[in-house]
Chains A and B, each alone.
Chain A
Amino acid sequence: MAVMTLRLSWRARVAMGGVVATNLLSRLLGRGSGTVVGGRVGLFIEPKLLTVLSRSRSVVLVSGTNGKTTTSAMLRVGWGGDVAGNVTGANMTEGHVAALCASSAAHAVLETDEGWLPIVVSATSPAVVVLLNLSRDQLDRANEVRQMAQRWRDCLAPEKFLGVVVANCADPLVVYAAESSTNVRWVQVPTVWRADAASCPHCTRALIFEGSSWSCECGFAQPTRVTARLGSVLEIGEQSYALNLALPGVFNEVNTALAATALYELGENVADVLSRIRTLDSVQGRYGLRRYGHREVRLLLAKNPAGTAALLESLDGDDDVWVAINAQVADGKDPSWLYDVPVEALRGRRISCLGERRVDLATRLTYAGVDSEVVDDFELLREGTARVTLIANYTAFRDWMGRTSPC
C-alpha cells in the first residue's frame, strides 16, 4: 500500500483526518457514502488539500458531457494495479479530495465535471487530461456549451498546463478547447452527434461536414495528424487492435479508444490495457443485468440528447424497452431535451413510459409516431418474460437501481 511517501504539513494531516472521520461518521449515520461531506470538511481545514494530495501521483482527468464515468472506469481497470478514483461519481473537488484521502495509490483517475475542469487541472497538475465530447446537458443549470469550450481552452493553454491532452478530434468543440495546448494527442473516432457544433467556434460560419471530417472556411478544421484512429479496429501508434468489448455500443468503443490512448501516452502496453478493459461488463450498475420481479432488466443511463441517441442505436432488437424520465435538479428541470433525441429510431416498438415526466415522454413519442404506454403503476411490470432494456435519466436511474436487484 505505501506506494507513496507523502510529505504532509500538519494542517494537511489534520484535514485528511477530517475527511476520513467525517466520511466514516456520515456512513455510520446512514447518510450516503459521505464522500462529498468529508471532502468539504477537509477543504475547509486545508483549501489546498487537493493539490497536496495530488503531489507525487500520476493523475489522469476525464471530462466531457457523456462517457466520463465509463471512461474513468476503463482507465482504472486498464491501468492495472491499485488506482485511486472517485468511483461514486462525486466529480467535483470535494469528491476528488475524498477519493485521494481514501487511497495512497501512485496512480489516480479522476472523473471531472466539465465546469470544474479548470480548477481541477490547476489543483492536480495531471499527467493527462482526456476530453471526450461536449454537447448540451441540463441547460437550466449548466453553462452553455460554447462557453464551456472556451473555459477549457483557457485552462489548457501552455501558461497554465504542460501535461498531455488526449482529445476526440471528431468533435469540433473539443478541438477548439484542446488546440490551445501544445501537447495534444488527437484521437479520430466515429461520431453521430453534431447538433451542438453546427457553427464554427472561431468565426460562427457554418461548419462543413464531409464524410467523417469537418472544416470551416476560416481554416479551422478537423486535425489530420492523429495518434489513434478508431474504425473497425483501433489503431494506436503503428499497431492495430481488435476491441471485442463486453460493454455495448459504438460509444463505448469510442470511450475505449480515448482511454487506451491516454494509457499509451503513460507508457502502458496497449494490448495489455485492452485485455483488462474487456473484462468490464458493468459500470456503477450501468449495462449490467438486474432483476425486477420475473424480469431481467438491463439498465442504461441517458442524461442528454447525445447520450440517449447513442443508446438508441445500440438497442437489442428483442428486448422490451422501458424509458424512465425525471426532472429533478440533477436531471435538469426541463425535459424538453426529449425533442432533441431522434426517438423515431423507436418506431415499430411499444415503449413503456415511466418516471415523473412519463406523460411528457409519451407525448414526445406520440408526435414522433412511436407507439407508447404511460405506466402509472410500475409494479404491474414485474410480470412478463421478455428481457428489458430500461433507459433512464439520472435520478430515474437511481430509483430503478433501488427497485431492481442484482441477477
Chain B
Amino acid sequence: MLKVAVLYPDLLGTYGDGGNAAVLAGRARARGIDLEVEEVTIGAKIPSASLYLLGGGEDGPQRLACDLLSEGGLIDRFNEGANVFAVCAGLQILGTSFSIEGDASYPGLGFVAATTTRGLSRSVGDFVTDVQGRMMVGFENHGGVTVLGEGVSALGDVVMGRGNDGRVDGFRAPRLIATYAHGPVLAQNPWLADELLSEITGQELAPWSSVADRLYSERCALLSTRRSDAGHIGG
C-alpha cells in the first residue's frame, strides 16, 4: 500500500497544510487507490513512505523540525526514491540555509542549493504562480527571500505575490516540489494533487470531477480579474 507521511504537523502545521494529505487521500479514495496517511509527530520515527509532506510553521518549531528531519534521515529516504512535497517553512528547511529569529543563519537539509534570508517585509495575501503554463493559486504568509543556486529550477513564475523573490516561486527537481503556497495548495489546485498522485502511483489517473474543480476555476477567475484591476503585480 502507498503511504503518505505528514512530517511533524505539530511543528509545521500552523497554516492548514495538513490538508494536503487529506486532499491526496480523498482523491486516491475516489479512484479506488489504497493510500494510507501517517502523521509523524515529535518523538516518532520517520517511516518508509512514497511521499513526505512538509508544511509551514513558526520560527522556533521550524528549527526544531529541521533538526528532527536531519536526525531522522529524510534525505536518505529521498535518495532511496521517495517523493517530497514542501510548503513555506518546509521549503526553507530543504534548502542549504535559512535565517529566522534575527539574522542568524541556520543550516538546512541541503536537498537543493537554495538560501533563505529574512526579507524587509512580510508577504501576506493571495498568491498565483504560473507553473509551466498552468496557474497555481494559493495564499502566502512569510517573510523569507529565497535565492536558488546555479542549476536549480524554480517551480514557476510568480504572477501575483512574492514567492521566493517576487519573480519565481519554490523549486522543482525529480521527485521534489517546494512552494510558498498555502491554501492548502493541493486543495486549491486539484491538477497539482493529481500530478503528485500520478507520480507516486506510477499510473495515469482516471478523471474525477468534484467541487474542487469549481473551487479552482473560481479562484483562477477571481484572481485573474483582480490582477488586471490592479495593473501588473509581481514578476
Is B184 among interface residues, defined by CB-CB distance under 8 A?
A: yes
A367 in complex: contacting residue of B126, B187, B218, CB < 8 Å: B187
> In the complex, A364→B26 CA distance in Å?
10
Given known A333-B126, A336-B139, A338-B16, contact A199–B64 (CB-CB < 8 A): yes
Is B177 among interface residues, defined by CB-CB distance under 8 A?
A: no
> In the complex, A359→B13 CA distance in Å?
22
Contact B183 A364 (CB under 8 A): no
Which of A145, A146, A360, A369 is most buried by chain B, counting CB atoms within 10 A of its CB?
A: A360
Is A206 among interface residues, defined by CB-CB distance under 8 A?
A: yes
Is A57 among interface residues, defined by CB-CB distance under 8 A?
A: no
Which residue in chain B gives the minimum CB-CB distance to A359?
B215
Smallest CB separation, A139 vs chain B (Å): 6
> In the complex, A154→B69 CA distance in Å?
32
Contacts of A206 in B (CB 8 A): 10, 41-43
Contacts of B22 in A (CB 8 A): 339, 367-368
B11 in complex: contacting residue of A144, A199, A369, A374, CB < 8 Å: A199
Contacts of B23 in A (CB 8 A): 367
Is B211 among interface residues, defined by CB-CB distance under 8 A?
A: yes
> In the complex, A359→B211 CA distance in Å?
7
Interface residue total, chain A, C-beta cutoff 8 A: 32
Smallest CB separation, A151 vs chain B (Å): 14
Smallest CB separation, B43 vs chain A (Å): 5
Contacts of A360 in B (CB 8 A): 187, 215
Smallest CB separation, B34 vs chain A (Å): 16
Contact B211 A336 (CB under 8 A): no
Contact A339 B184 (CB under 8 A): yes
> In the complex, A144→B15 CA distance in Å?
11
Report the tally of A-B residue pairs with Cβ distances under 8 A.
102
Chain B interface size, under 10 / 10 to 19 / 20 to 34 / 35 or more: 35 or more
Is B141 among interface residues, defined by CB-CB distance under 8 A?
A: yes
Contact B13 A195 (CB under 8 A): yes
Name B48-100 residues within 8 Å CB distance of A: 58, 60-61, 63-64
Is A141 among interface residues, defined by CB-CB distance under 8 A?
A: yes
Which residue in chain B gives the minimum CB-CB distance to A140?
B124
Contacts of A145 in B (CB 8 A): 58
Smallest CB separation, B131 vs chain A (Å): 19
Is B214 among interface residues, defined by CB-CB distance under 8 A?
A: yes
Is B19 among interface residues, defined by CB-CB distance under 8 A?
A: yes
Is B182 among interface residues, defined by CB-CB distance under 8 A?
A: yes
Given known A139-B15, A366-B211, contact A199–B42 (CB-CB < 8 A): yes
Contact B58 A144 (CB under 8 A): yes
Name A311-336 residues within 8 Å CB distance of B: 333-334, 336
> In the complex, A153→B218 CA distance in Å?
44
Contact B187 A139 (CB under 8 A): no
Is B212 among interface residues, defined by CB-CB distance under 8 A?
A: yes
Which residue in chain B gives the minimum CB-CB distance to A373?
B211
Contact with B along A256-271 (1 / 0, CB 8 A): 0000000000000000
> In the complex, A198→B41 CA distance in Å?
9
Which of A145, A195, A199, A367 is most buried by chain B, counting CB atoms within 10 A of its CB?
A: A367
Name B149-202 residues within 8 Å CB distance of A: 182-184, 187
Which 8 pairs, one residue from A and one from B, show the smallest C-beta to C-beta distance?
Answer: A339-B19, A336-B16, A198-B10, A206-B42, A367-B26, A339-B16, A334-B139, A362-B211
Chain A residues within 8 Å of B, Cβ to Cβ = 136, 139-141, 144-147, 195, 198-199, 204-206, 333-334, 336-340, 359-360, 362-364, 366-369, 372, 374
A and B contact pairs by CB, cutoff 8 A, 5 listed: A333-B124, A336-B16, A339-B187, A363-B212, A374-B211
